[in-house]
Amino acid sequence: MPKGRAARLPSMLFVHGYLSHRRDKWFRELYEKFVAHGFAVLTIDLNGHGESSGDFRDFTYTRAIEDVMAAARYLEQYPHINPYKIIGIGHSLGGTALMFAKARGIEFRTLALLAPVGDTTWHYAHHERYPKSELAAWRRTGLYTWYEESLGRTLSLRYSFWKDLKTLDSLAVARTLRQPVFIAHGESDRAVPFTELQRLFKAIRGPSVLRRYASSGHSFWDARDRRTLYRDLFTFIREYHPVTVAHGVAVFIRHGDQYLTLKRSNKVGQHKGRWAVVAGYLPKGEVPVAHAYEEALEEAGLHKKDLTLVKVGTKVLVHDPITDVRWRSTPVLFESSTKRIKLNWENTAYRWVPISRMPFDTSYPGLFAQWKALHII
């Protein structure tokens, strides 16, 4: 969870690929960037992978899909999460599992599929790991064993993995997708050929993009490509999760060397229970200072005769990831002749504090930036 954030966060479910885990370095690097931008992130280890329970020999696609669905439902019920803004991001098999989870009822807002198995029917019929000569023995013995060089150890899978695959058709699932889908492919990927992802891209009914990264393979190992991938993905998410732009005022009220802070009530929409300053939406066409007087009267019971305008700061751009609103806020500083305050329903308590005790770290996003914009020494 992002530090210092409250309710209704947009969130992401990250799902790793086959034979990988949630702590994979490049994958962790990716989701930490989104946490820094205000998203809540849940990462999981699929059954039989990483730190999860379960025997890898029993792993199947259906088990992976069930893991993804359980994780998404957990996110939907988690406090502070906006259940309508869950984004699924998956690598390889994890991306494919996200598609099937969406088709089975999980309401992902957007999907990002990084080198997914795009055509399950074709992919495993042509995969070098499962030649026809091996399939007969696999079916007869019930267990397929091989040495996995990438892990440096021997692995086994039950025949149930193959039987399960025969029931899945990722292209048929792709034709049911209506929400935005981002697909990424490394040009040196030998696990999933580009033609496979082209078929997937064409099958998707909703808005989608297919991006190629010239210096990377299946796990996007090139650092420059990873940075470009992140920018492309962030741009795509922002395009289909449009940010509302609103204008507002932040009203700092001073009495001597103390500043007025207000505790927001449980009746307001966001940032309930937090200490903040007088602030509000600036209606179109209104002058910031004039509206600042109105907000001071409404929230604090301070009349214009009680206030002296000290300074109007420069406009500050503040993104609130909780409401997904990008505020263009004008800070205003008043000197008050009185410390008597009359609260309305928006706040439940008030206190006068020195600037050193202002709730910059625990208030709504951008309060400190708004204070700095006043350029008060």
CA distance 12 to 63: 20
pLDDT tens digits along 233-251: 988 887 777 656 778 999 9
Say how far apart CA 178 and CA 162 lie, in whole Å: 29
How far, in Å, are 139, 142, 166, 251, 357 from residue 296 at the CA level?
Answer: 76, 75, 67, 7, 21
pLDDT (tens digit, 9 = 90+) per residue, 291-340? 999 999 999 999 999 999 999 999 998 877 666 677 889 999 999 999 99
pLDDT, tens digit, 9 for 90 and up, residues 194-228: 999 999 999 998 889 999 999 999 999 999 999 99
Cβ atoms within 10 Å of 45's Cβ, excluding its own: 18
What rounded mean pLDDT belongs to the chain?
89
Q: What does the alpha-carbon distance between residue 237 and residue 233 come to, in Å, rounded to a whole number?
A: 6
As a whole number of angstroms, the distance between CA 146 and CA 141 comes to 14
Q: What is the pLDDT of residue 5?
A: 46
Tell me the residue type at 332.
V
Q: Return d(Cα 27, Cα 37) in angstroms, integer.
A: 16
Q: Give the DSSP H/E element, type plus range, for residue 208.
A: strand 208-213
Structural domains of the chain, with CATH:
9-125+169-240 (3.40.50.1820), 244-372 (3.90.79.10)
Return the ∠ at Cα 169 (arms to 97 and 56), rounded to 5°.
45
Instruction: Please give the model's pTM, rounded to 2 decimal places.
Output: 0.66
Q: How buried is residue 372: exposed, middle or buried, by Cβ count under 10 Å (0-12/13-18/19+)?
A: middle
What are 170-201's pLDDT values in tens digits?
A: 999 999 998 899 999 999 999 999 999 999 99
- Rounded Cα distance between 124 and 122, Å, is 6
DSSP string, 72-103: HHHHHHSTTEEEEEEEEEEETHHHHHHHHHHH
Q: What is the mean pLDDT of residues 111-134?
A: 83
* Residue 1 pLDDT: 57
